[in-house]
């Protein structure tokens, strides 16, 4: 992403934020279309809902300083991958990789980085699938590749992560060991719930297929 140098700092900032907001809208539209297609073709939508946000100026400054970078717009663009962030919440763990594959197969999306916290959870129990991608924003002077971080997780993972963040930040990053262990145990419970719900969903699908083969129709479809 390149912002014209002749712009003032304020104009550069506004241009950057405009691009990040546009990139989020671009990804959101793609996901909505794909979700609607699944609903139309398979009578099933893998995406429960989506959330998006732009990092606050304070958060951007703090992260640059924490990582040892001078606070400049150039460093903000080059060094930070999560200024524009989107969270995709899905029903089942199997949907996570399906959605990630769909995103990767988009011809105008370039995947820069993947962090699979499902296969390799964080020590505190955090699980999610992270992708850093670029999407072209077509302006009058041509396309500008703009970064977006996408997090894909189940409802249970999102519930755990949201509460973990609220609890953890009360201790300003210095939570006692017993609390970390309790949070890890809750993460294990959430994972068990995801596993059970996926098994239940597979059982229901198999039952429905058996009814179709036998010519019967479930009561809910009559």
pLDDT digits (tens, 9 = 90+) for 202-211: 898 888 777 7
3 state DSSP class of 27: helix
Q: CB-based contacts of 12: which residues, under 8 Å, 6+ apart?
A: 3, 4, 73
**CA-CA distances (angstroms) from residue 131 to 41, 72, 159, 205?**
26, 24, 20, 30
Instruction: Estimate the crossing angle of helix 155-169 against helix 177-214, to 10 degrees.
Output: 170
Calculate mean pLDDT across residues 141-158: 95
Q: Do the bridges between strand 84-90 and strand 110-116 make them parallel or antiparallel, or are there none, so unpaired?
A: unpaired
| The three-state (H, E, C) secondary structure of 44-84, written as one string | CCCEEEEEEEECCHHHHHHHHHHCCCCCCHHHHHHHCCCCE
Residue 222 has pLDDT above 50, yes or no: no
Q: Would you say 103 and 35 are in contact if contact means Cβ atoms under 8 Å apart?
A: no
Lowest mean pLDDT among 7-16, 21-30, 122-131: 7-16
3 state DSSP class of 10: helix
Residue 2: the pLDDT is 59
Q: Which residues of 46-61 are buried (b: 16+ CB within 10 A; e: fewer)?
A: bbeebebebbeeeebe
* Banded model confidence at residue 178, pLDDT cuts 50, 70, 90: confident
67-104 residue pLDDT tens: 999 999 999 999 999 999 999 999 999 999 999 999 99
Residue 217: the pLDDT is 58
Residue 220: the pLDDT is 47
Whole-model pTM?
0.85
Lowest mean pLDDT among 12-16, 141-145, 175-179: 175-179
Q: What are the structural domains, with CATH classification, of the chain?
A: 9-156 (3.30.460.10)
3 state DSSP class of 171: coil
**CA-CA distances (angstroms) from residue 26 to 3, 49, 84, 102, 139?**
20, 16, 12, 15, 13
Residue 221 has pLDDT above 50, yes or no: no
72, two tokens: 């400049």
| φ, ψ for residue 6, nearest 5 deg | -70, -15
């Amino acid at each position: 992403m390149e912002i014209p140098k002749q712009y003032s700092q304020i104009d550069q900032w506004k241009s950057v934020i405009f691009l990040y907001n546009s990139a989020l809208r671009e990804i959101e539209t793609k996901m909505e279309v794909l979700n609607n297609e699944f609903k139309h073709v398979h009578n099933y939508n893998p995406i429960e809902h989506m959330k998006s946000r732009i990092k606050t100026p304070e958060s951007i400054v703090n992260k640059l300083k924490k990582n040892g970078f001078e606070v400049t717009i150039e460093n903000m663009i080059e060094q930070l991958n999560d200024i524009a962030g989107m969270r995709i919440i899905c029903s089942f763990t199997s949907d996570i990789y399906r959605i990630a594959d769909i995103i990767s197969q988009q011809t105008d999306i370039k995947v820069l980085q993947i962090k699979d916290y499902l296969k390799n959870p964080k020590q505190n129990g955090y699980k999610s699938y992270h992708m850093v991608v670029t999407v072209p924003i077509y302006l009058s002077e041509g396309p500008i590749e703009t970064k977006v971080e996408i997090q894909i997780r189940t409802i249970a993972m999102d519930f755990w992560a949201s509460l973990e963040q609220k609890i953890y930040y009360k201790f300003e990053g210095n939570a006692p060991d017993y609390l970390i262990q309790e949070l890890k145990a809750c993460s294990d419970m959430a994972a068990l719930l995801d596993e059970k719900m996926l098994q239940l969903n597979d059982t229901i699908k198999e039952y429905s297929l058996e009814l179709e083969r036998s010519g019967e129709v479930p009561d809910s479809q009559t």
